Amino acid sequence: MTRRLTGGKRLFPVDGASDGAGPSRAPAPDNPIPSIEDDVYTVTETTASRSPTPSISVSDPSEAEPGGPEPASPRGAAERDAGSETESLPDRLQWLRLRNSTSSSASTGLGLGSLRAALPSAEPGRRSQTPNLLLPDASPAASPGGRRRRSSSMGQRRYDVRDEAPPQDRFHEPAFQQGLAEAQTLMSRLAGVLGSSTLHLEPDSSMKGLQERADELANFRCPPTRTVGLVGDSGVGKSSLLNSLLDYRNLARTSNGGAACTCVVTEYYHHDRGDFVVDVDLFSEEELEQQLRDLVHAYRHNHFHSAEMDLPDDRRHWAKRAKLAKDTFRAMFADRFRTALLRSENSEDTIVQTYLNWAMDLRPINEFDGRTVTDSLEDCSSLLIRLTSDLDGAEGPGCWPYIKKIRVYLDAHILSKGLVLVDLPGLRDLNSARRNITERYLHQCDEIFVVCPIGRATTDEGVQHLIELARQAKWSNVGIICTKSDDIRADEAQTDWAGAQATEVQRLRGSVAEADQQLAALTELLVDPDGLEDMTVEEELEQAQLLVQCERARGEIESRRFELQRYLITTRNDKVEARLLAKYRGKIPGGNLHVFCASNTLYWEKRDSRPLGVTIQFLELSGIIPIRRHCMGLVSQNQLRIATKYLRDDIPNLLSKVELWVQTGAGTADAEKKRAVREALDQLEGQLRRSLDGVTSPLNNLGRKLTDAFQETLYRRRKISRWTEGAIQAGQVWSGVPTYAAFCRNYGTYNTSAAGYHCWNEEAMRSMNDDLADPWERLETEIQRQLDAGQTFVSETLDGAVAFHLGNALDSFLDTVGPLRTALQSGNRLHVRAIEDLCETFETDLSKLRTDALSGLRTSYFGQSMETTYWNAICEAGKGSWDRKKAIINGALRREALFRELMQKLKRKFEDLATQLETDARAAVGEYLDGVKNSLDMVRSENVALESERDPEFRTRVAKELERVKRRMEHHEF
């Protein structure tokens, strides 16, 4: 059956054809760039003996020979659009067949399939090979034999996030990764050999410990070491950004269905399985009680006192809080909730207790106690929506008001090297508990990105708020991600921009319009289908050539559209980045502000297009790949350190102990020499224990030394009266602020058009910070000196003791000296690294302590002390409320106990950190000395010798495998 196309002079409609395109016409939305190598088709060779008088007919595509099945889409792949209004020229060409004019039944391929095969690839950034007479700036057509087509399988390839180029650093170098993988394989094989006898099954055998350690090393994985937090107001595209970075379409919820639901802290971790695991942490009873108390008070204050509020802003503030309370209660209690109880004459304590009883009865502790495993992306997404969305009242209470944190485990490439991504509630959330959780969590993040739409990036209040927090907290790890970078119109850009940029936009738009017109002109030359029957062979071939030229013109249109889109996006991105850096970089400690622009829409529209060469340019333009590469690069340095320790210390330490076990069974020394060896090793162990665990060990009084330094350098310099006077003066300045109530509503932190940004907490603490800034710097210097001295002592003590005692006494065991020395030296390095890690953790904790003690953040010590004060001031309404608000604030600032209690809290926390450091250091010493004893026992213990001698065949297998592992490890440079 043959289907004929009728109507008009064009053979078929053409995507992108212009109906009078001109320079002022905005470009049409991007369509996936067509590829002539997408689909599988047959190229039939032609010969002189084939039909001499062919003619053209167009077959119904349903009758065409079916091609291969559509390849399975990868995770996150979109379904191919089935409802396209027009079909591509290559597809139409595929239906063309040349038939013998003398035989209607004999269909012979004259090679029109090869015309389609010869069509040039229309990749963005590469000019289509349309003839010069039609597109003057296009490159000439390629000769038939001058271009070798890529295989159709290449055209079928889709984008795979795992193929992205990794960050350019040592850890991600292929040679290093290959060596790391081979080392794990070697450890797995060694563990198998060590377990090939029954010795490892005996509880007290040394082989049992060696086999277990080899198994541990075979399963080595770099732990999560870097956390990136994403924070932003509702609707800025944060969840969509997470989906793009994780490369899972529609995983994270992209809109809030519940009026009261903002979100909960959601952490994304890696696991290497195909399923998804969701782990839920619920609020404790005490945490729920505090939230209920705040919500009950907010609703009742609005209900009973809204008429007394003089300021419209006050009324709006309390109305919002009341709505938040009502929506939250409805979500928590479903059909149980009625507003009558809130409006009753019962005391707030009574109402809170009633609600708390309900909450403890209804919270989903049984349903979500532990981990929930889902097998598919859809099931996981549905579960997350259930956890974070309001349910219909008939379905029961919602979960989100009870949830403190959610952990999601999935096989996402961005997480595979140790990164943790965190979706955080907004910093301006009306729910104080969730807002404070976010601020506290930011202390733990290795990098923080605030997300905002690109259209309002330089004025976004969420960005301004985070930058100010970073300035106060001295965070140097802050960045900005602007979403919706593709939301830009060419006509508006041409109008808004000036000079060369506007001229370039005009040129690119004109280029697109010209290509549209040329394609329209080409299609006009295509004859009516009714005339195909009367054509000569030459005319039919001319029509086929026109089809080829149409396809080239179509590719040229797409190429030019991409050039226009790329210019618009990159130019606007550069402008926004420059403005953000100019405005905020000076406020970030160190001036290191990362700015990225991204389009989640562009990423998902193009992610599953083909061929891969076309797709990747769009994905780079979307900005998602650069952000993903940056985030993965954050883990590299720490992961390199951990992996290098594994390769240089952990594995050699085990290999040396295995070699000691082998050599001990082959020993021939007499009893007198063995006695001398045991005495020397006993002396070595004794010296190490005295030096590291004795009374004079620097590690045993490290906590006291650090505490003394804190007392002398910082604590004794407190000036409570002076600091209180400074706070009182700050409060008097605030009393003249016309937006006093607004500052109270925002807990002292507010931004006004007239006065700019102010943080009352920071201003009240200014005298204190002025007095303690230099002492704190001296304290950090003294602490660093002592920590360095402790690390140097440990390193020198270990190396000196080993060098001194492994001397003449071991001459009788020459084969044993080498592996024993290696075992002890690798153990020394492991111990030194452990102490270094403890000191690094202490320094990080000390930096966080400084933020808590000396910043004006709402969650700082000072901010928490003022929390109730601000709340009481907010609740004042009616006649005289203005004066009462001031009295409440100023009264709190006059209390000398405010700064005295702050310093006492700082002192207690510092002492806790110092004590914990000493405790952990002593535990590390104990673990190290146990390892030393274990290594020495390999040589001096008769039981080990007897164990090694018991099964000579097994010992030989172990020795051979040991040599093989050592040879393979020497091939790699770590």
Name 216's Cβ contacts closer than 8 Å, sequence gap at least 6.
Answer: none
Pair 202, 208: CB distance under 8 Å: yes
- Write the pLDDT tens digit of every residue in 252-262: 876 544 333 44
Res. 7: pLDDT tops 60 = no
| Cβ atoms of residues 517 and 21 within 8 Å | yes
Where residue 1 falls among pLDDT bands split at 50, 70, 90? very low
CA angle at 33 for the pair 27 and 37, rounded to the nearest 5°: 160
Report the pLDDT averaged over residues 873-894.
92
CB atoms within 10 A of CB 790: 21
Given a cut of 80, is residue 673 above it in pLDDT? Answer: no
Overall average pLDDT of the 669-677 stretch: 66
Of the pLDDT bands very low, low, confident and very high (cuts 50, 70, 90), residue 180 is very high
pLDDT at residue number 28: 36
Rounded distance, CA 159 to CA 447, Å? Answer: 28
Residues 853-871 pLDDT 10s: 999 999 999 999 999 999 9
pLDDT tens-digit map of 553-584: 998 998 999 999 999 999 999 999 999 999 99
Contact criterion met (CB below 8 Å) for 404 and 369: no
Other beta carbons within 10 angstroms of residue 483's beta carbon come to 26
Residue 114 has pLDDT above 80, yes or no: no
| Under 8 Å between Cβ of 614 and 500 | no
pLDDT given for residue 808 in this prediction: 57
What pLDDT score does 530 carry?
A: 65
- Mutual angle of helices 897-940 and 942-950, in 10-degree steps: 60
Strands (E), 377-428: 403-410, 419-424
**Which region among 238-252, 654-668, 702-716 has the lowest average model confidence (pLDDT)?**
654-668
pLDDT at 387: 87
Instruction: State how far the alpha carbon of 267 is from the alpha carbons of 222, 275, 279, 441, in Å.
Output: 18, 16, 10, 11
Q: Which two tokens stand for residue 248?
A: 């899972």
pLDDT of residue 824: 84
Where is pLDDT greater, at 637 or 367? 637
**Would you state the pLDDT for residue 571?**
96
Give me the pLDDT at residue 737, please.
Answer: 86
If one compares 167 and 347, the residue with the highest pLDDT of the two is: 347
What average pLDDT does the segment 78-94 reach? 40
Range 282-308 average pLDDT? 92
| DSSP line for 55-71 | EEEEB-GGGSPP-PPPP
Tokens of 737: 């602020």
- On the question of pLDDT at 266 being above 70, the answer is yes
Average pLDDT rounded to a whole number, residues 326-339: 90
Q: Percent helix, strand, coil in the chain (nearest 5)?
A: 60, 10, 30
Pairing status of strand 749-752 against strand 756-759? antiparallel
Mean pLDDT of 934-960: 85
Angle, vertex CA 88, rays to CA 85 and CA 89, nearest 5: 135
How many of the other CB atoms lie within 10 Å of CB of 874?
Answer: 21
Reference 878, options 317, 310, 313; nearest CA is: 310
The chain-wide mean pLDDT, for the chain, equals 80
For residue 666, what pLDDT is reported?
Answer: 62
CA distance 277 to 268: 10
Residue 682 has a pLDDT of 86
pLDDT in tens, 711-721: 999 999 999 99
Residue 113 predicted with pLDDT over 90: no
Render pLDDT for 126-157 as a digit per residue (tens, 0 to 9).
Answer: 433 333 333 333 333 333 333 334 444 445 67
DSSP 772-822: HHHHHHHHHHHHHHHHHHHHHHHHHHHHHHHHHHSSGGGGGGHHHHHHHHH
Token pair in block for residue 1 = 């059956």
Domains present along the chain, CATH in parentheses: 163-222+639-666+949-974 (1.20.1440), 224-247+412-528+558-634 (3.40.50.300), 280-377+386-403 (no CATH), 667-940 (no CATH)
The span from the CA of 890 to the CA of 737, in Å, is: 14
Arithmetic mean of pLDDT, 205-215: 92
pLDDT at 709: 94
A 10 A CB-CB count for 98 gives 24
pLDDT of residue 48: 35
CB atoms closer than 10 angstroms to residue 888: 19
Determine the Cα–Cα distance for residues 401 and 334; give it in Å rounded to an integer: 12
More confident of the two residues 903 and 439: 903
3-state secondary structure of 280: strand
SS3 596: strand
CB 509, CB 563: distance < 8 Å: no
Q: Among 123-127, 725-729, 807-811, which range has the highest average pLDDT?
A: 725-729
Q: What is the total residue count of the chain?
A: 974
On whether the CB atoms of residues 330 and 337 are closer than 8 A, the answer is yes
pLDDT tens figures, 705-751:
999 999 999 999 999 999 999 999 999 999 888 889 999 999 999 88
